[in-house]
């Protein structure tokens, strides 16, 4: 019997065959009882609350709006529409927002369908014109996402991503602990090149699933702490690695655009990386320690390969790839060129989206290119979902609902003009971090909480960057529950861990991430001039 065949079980399944872990081959998880209940009540609940908010409830902070408290953009809308109509579209905005949040959280219908309903609802209620609403599919961050999927598909098609990951694991993953740390490094490198966390998850999933199988973790009734560690740590690394780079995700770029729009100060690739890459590396290492030492400690048997010759199979997979071919070399050179241009944007002024655009065009160019359009894997349902979130953000900009809501809340809590900076910093960063327990989209959290931070800074006469940028650095903490992000939903399908495993590890790392953000606000961010006097002003 060949070395490959001896691993095949009685059902004809080879746990070391990477093709078995392609996304389209992952088994469809059945919903739990709680998920089924939420799905069943989500639709009716969303409709009832929309009707109540839009037609019955009349919040005083939306019916008695002080025009002087509005942003310049919203003030223009107010002057154009008048007080009564401006109040009406704010109430409509709140009703649509609450309805969409419930549908997204309960998954009563597919999230892209919720986005389509949201877009047309904003048009029919008059919050946005058709031109404004439909134009969001052409948002520059949308184009960055599309071009990033083109470039990620190039990596997959040529085999360069697989070669790099296999080479790293084979050479540096000889022990269980070094395997986890190898994935940490791999994720940092991929985060610098790939702007889509879902694409990173898709590239790495077959590799860490094979390694899990080597160590006896097959999912279902064959779960063990090695499998929990390798999948949950990768989920954490995929997201937190993205937080170290401006181009790590579209949400990071969106946050930078919102801050630049409010301040006129450009947030460059190098600025973001200098401020938060070190934070990302610290958190990723802490995630490794917390997972392997506290929640999922490895027993002696978990540290040993359970399938004879398992790591040899990975070496075979790497050997099958042969020497790097011309297409792989071109892919590597193109990506390095893109990274160089991204990291020097402060000097040449070309936006990350424009650079990705140029790179994708070169990759798709006939004869001299690397990949064909039919080889590009763009998840259009995710694009539609993102378009809905951007349209929601456009509605917030027109109505100024986030600032109006925060002002009303702060007035209720008694936050007056003399409120200390540390109270605002802790409140806003806490809200951004722990909102990940309830919100499905990084883009939506960005659309909500970064404008809120900008509004609070303006309200209290504080430098916008000192509040909004630390809030933006918490965007990528989306790994606790399956609905938190697309990588979370994808990796949950591996069946290597339970919802409880994910939540207890995730919420612990979320709390640690928030605490680290506070410490950095007092030290590193202060040194860089982001928080002028630190958070508490201790040093």
To the nearest whole percent, how much of the chain has pLDDT over 70?
A: 86
Closest CA to 195 of 231, 162, 243: 243
Closest CA to 399 of 61, 58, 91: 91
Q: What is the pLDDT of residues 415-425, one digit of tens each?
A: 777 788 888 99
Token reading at 223: 């779960």
Q: What is the pLDDT of residues 95-145, one digit of tens each?
A: 998 998 888 778 788 877 888 899 999 999 999 988 888 887 776 767 776
The answer to whether the beta carbons of residues 55 and 80 sit under 8 Å apart is: no
Confidence label for 440 from pLDDT (cuts 50, 70 and 90): low
Secondary element (H or E) of residue 72: helix 72-81
Q: Kindly tell me if the per-residue pLDDT of 474 is higher than 90.
A: yes
Burial class (CB in 10 A: 0-12, 13-18, 19+), 368: exposed
Q: What is the pLDDT of residues 164-223, one digit of tens each?
A: 767 777 777 667 778 888 889 888 887 877 767 777 787 777 777 777 777 776 666 667
For 198-226, b where at least 16 C-beta lie within 10 A, e where not — what string?
A: bbbbbbbbbbbbbbbbbbbbbbeeebbbb
Residue 235's alpha-carbon distances to 382, 476, 494, 505, in angstroms, are 18, 11, 12, 11
- In this prediction, residues 406-430 reach a mean pLDDT of 83
Token reading at 320: 């099958």
Give CA–CA dist 203/198, Å, rounded: 9
* Mean pLDDT for all residues in the chain: 81
Residue 185's alpha-carbon distances to 284, 296, 333, in angstroms, are 10, 21, 20
Q: Kindly tell me if the per-residue pLDDT of 19 is higher than 60.
A: no
Confidence label for 462 from pLDDT (cuts 50, 70 and 90): confident
Q: How many CA atoms lie within 13 A of 343 on its CB side?
A: 12
Give CA–CA dist 390/397, Å, rounded: 11
Residue 53's alpha-carbon distances to 27, 402, 445, 452, in angstroms, are 40, 16, 22, 22
Q: Please tell me the predicted confidence (pLDDT) of residue 211.
A: 77
Give CA–CA dist 8/450, Å, rounded: 51
Q: State whether the Cα torsion 197-202-206-212 is positive or negative.
A: positive
Secondary element (H or E) of residue 173: none
Give CA–CA dist 106/482, Å, rounded: 11
DSSP 299: P
The more confident residue out of 113 and 302 is: 113
- In this prediction, residues 491-502 reach a mean pLDDT of 81
Q: What is the pLDDT of residues 215-252, one digit of tens each?
A: 776 666 667 788 888 889 999 999 999 999 987 887 88
Q: What is the pLDDT of residues 309-327, one digit of tens each?
A: 666 777 777 788 788 888 8
Angle at 533 between CA 531 and CA 537, to 5 degrees: 120
Q: Please tell me the predicted confidence (pLDDT) of residue 87.
A: 93
Closest CA to 479 of 450, 510, 500, 448: 510
Q: Does pTM surpass 0.85?
A: no
Q: Kindly tell me if the per-residue pLDDT of 1 is higher than 50.
A: no
- In this prediction, residues 7-30 reach a mean pLDDT of 55
Q: Kindly tell me if the per-residue pLDDT of 6 is higher than 60.
A: no
The more confident residue out of 438 and 446 is: 446
Token reading at 381: 């349902």
């Amino acid at each position: 019997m060949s070395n490959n065949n001896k691993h095949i079980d009685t059902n004809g399944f080879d746990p070391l065959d990477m093709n078995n872990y392609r996304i389209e081959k992952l088994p469809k998880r059945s919903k739990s009882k709680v998920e089924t209940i939420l799905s069943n009540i989500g639709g009716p609940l969303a409709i009832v609350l929309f009707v109540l908010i839009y037609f019955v409830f009349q919040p005083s902070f939306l019916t008695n709006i002080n025009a002087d408290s509005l942003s310049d953009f919203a003030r223009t809308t107010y002057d154009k529409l008048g007080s009564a109509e401006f109040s009406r579209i704010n109430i409509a905005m709140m009703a649509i927002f609450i309805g969409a949040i419930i549908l997204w959280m309960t998954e009563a219908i597919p999230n892209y369908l919720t986005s389509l309903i949201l877009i047309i609802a904003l048009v029919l209620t008059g919050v946005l014109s058709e031109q404004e609403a439909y134009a969001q599919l052409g948002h520059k961050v949308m184009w960055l996402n599309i071009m990033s999927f083109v470039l990620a598909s190039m990596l997959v098609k040529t085999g360069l991503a697989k070669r790099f990951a296999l080479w790293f694991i084979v050479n540096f993953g000889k022990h269980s602990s070094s395997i986890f740390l190898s994935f940490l490094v791999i994720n940092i490198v991929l985060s610098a090149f790939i702007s889509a966390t879902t694409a990173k998850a898709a590239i790495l999933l077959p590799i860490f699933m094979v390694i899990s199988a080597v160590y006896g973790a097959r999912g279902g009734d064959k779960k063990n702490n090695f499998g929990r560690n390798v999948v949950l740590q990768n989920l954490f690394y995929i997201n937190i690695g993205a937080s170290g780079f401006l181009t790590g995700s579209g949400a990071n770029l969106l946050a930078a655009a919102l801050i630049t729009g409010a301040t006129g100060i450009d947030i460059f690739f190098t600025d973001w990386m200098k401020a938060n890459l070190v934070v990302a590396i610290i958190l990723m290492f802490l995630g490794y320690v917390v997972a392997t030492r506290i929640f999922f400690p490895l027993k002696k048997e978990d540290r040993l390969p359970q399938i004879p010759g398992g790591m040899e199979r990975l070496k075979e997979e790497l050997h099958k790839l042969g020497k790097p071919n011309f297409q792989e070399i071109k892919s590597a050179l193109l990506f390095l060129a893109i990274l160089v241009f991204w990291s020097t944007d402060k000097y040449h002024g070309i936006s990350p989206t424009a650079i990705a655009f140029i790179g994708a065009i070169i990759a798709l160019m006939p004869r001299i290119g690397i990949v064909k359009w039919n080889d590009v894997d763009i998840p259009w349902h995710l694009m539609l979902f993102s378009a809905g979130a951007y349209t929601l953000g456009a509605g917030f900009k027109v109505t100024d609902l986030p600032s109006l809501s925060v002002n009303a809340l702060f007035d209720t809590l008694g936050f007056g003009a003399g409120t200390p900076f540390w109270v605002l910093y802790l409140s806003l960063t806490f809200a951004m971090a722990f909102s990940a327990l309830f919100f499905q989209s990084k883009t939506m959290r960005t659309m909500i909480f970064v404008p809120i931070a900008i509004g609070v800074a303006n309200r209290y006469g504080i430098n916008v960057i000192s509040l909004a940028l630390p809030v933006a650095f918490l965007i990528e903490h989306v790994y606790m529950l399956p609905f938190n992000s697309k990588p979370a939903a994808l990796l949950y399908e591996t069946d290597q861990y339970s919802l409880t495993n994910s939540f207890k590890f995730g919420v612990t790392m979320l709390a640690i991430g928030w605490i680290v953000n506070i410490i950095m606000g007092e030290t590193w961010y202060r040194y860089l001039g982001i928080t002028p006097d630190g958070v508490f002003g201790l040093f």
